[in-house]
Amino acid sequence: MDELTKDEQKRYHRHLILPEIGEKGQKKLKCAKVLVVGAGGLGSPVLLYLTAAGVGTIGIVDFDIVDESNLQRQVLYTTEDIGKTKTSIAEEKLSKLNPHVSFNLYKTRLDQANAEDIIKEYDLVIDCPDNFATRYIVSDICKKLNKPHVFGSVSEFEGQLSVFNYKNGPVYRDIFPESYSSDETTENSQPGIIGVLPGIVGCMQANEAIKIITGAGEVLSGKLFIIDILNNNFNILNIS
C-alpha cells in the first residue's frame, strides 16, 4: 500500500486523527479507484468531496456540455464554463483542488456496449446519471462484476440514497425491477428541483463511498434512505 507523503499527511490531517479512518484508511483512499457516472447535480459534490478526501483515481463518465440551466445546482461549474464539456472542466478544477488525485475521463454516454469495459477498472461505482436507462446499466454491470454501486436520485424536494451490491446485498432491480421504456426526456417533462438537494444527496453518496473504501461505520446496504427537505422528514426503509 502506498505511503503518504509529508504533503499528504498535512492535507489529510483531520482524517488521520479520526480513529475510524486514520493513516490506514487514508492509504486505502489513496489506492482506491472510483468511477462516477454523471458529472451534473449529484456528480458535482461527489467529485469535489472524493477529490478533497484523496481518492487516488477517479473516473468521470459524462458526454454533456455545461448549459446555463445547470448552474442552479451543478456547483462544479461557473458561467464562463457554459458550452464546454463537463469532463474537461471537471478535471481542470478538481486537479487544482487536489494535485495528488488522478482522473480518467470518458466523454461518452455509458451504454451496454462500453459499460463493462469501463466499470471493470474500478473498485466501486457512484451512480449520478440523469436518466433511468443508465442507472439500470450500472446496476446490471455492477452485479455482474461484483462491484459496489452507490445510488442516489433527486426530484423536486425529495432525495433517495442506498448502496447496492455490497457484500451480496440487494441490487437496484430489487426495488425497481422493470426498466423504463425510454430514457429520453424533454426540458418540459423534467420535474423541478431545489438547487441544494443534489448537494445534500451527493455529499451522502461520497460519504458512503469513503466508508466502503476505509471500512468505517455502517454502510447503507439493504436500506433505502429517503429525505424530504421541504418538510424536514427522512425515513430509512429496509429492502427485502
pLDDT in tens, 107-116: 999 999 999 9
- Contact (Cβ atoms closer than 8 angstroms) between residue 201 and residue 143: no
Residue 237 Cα distances to 207, 215, 223, 225, 234, angstroms: 19, 23, 5, 7, 10
Beta-bridged to residue 60, according to DSSP, are 36, 105
Cα of 88 vs its chain's centroid, Å: 17
pLDDT in tens, 156-215: 999 999 999 999 999 999 998 876 554 444 444 678 999 999 999 999 999 999 999 999
- Domains of the chain by start residue, with CATH: 11-238 (3.40.50.720)
Residue 13 grid cell: 490531517
pLDDT in tens, 93-137: 999 999 999 999 999 999 999 999 999 999 999 999 988 899 999
Indicate the burial class of 188 (C-beta count within 10 angstroms; 0-12, 13-18, 19 or more).
exposed
Q: What is the pTM of this model?
A: 0.95
Cα of 197 vs its chain's centroid, Å: 14
Spatial neighbors of 92 by CB under 8 A, at least 6 apart, are none
Enumerate the H helices of 37-85 as residue ranges: 43-53
Rg (CA), the chain: 17
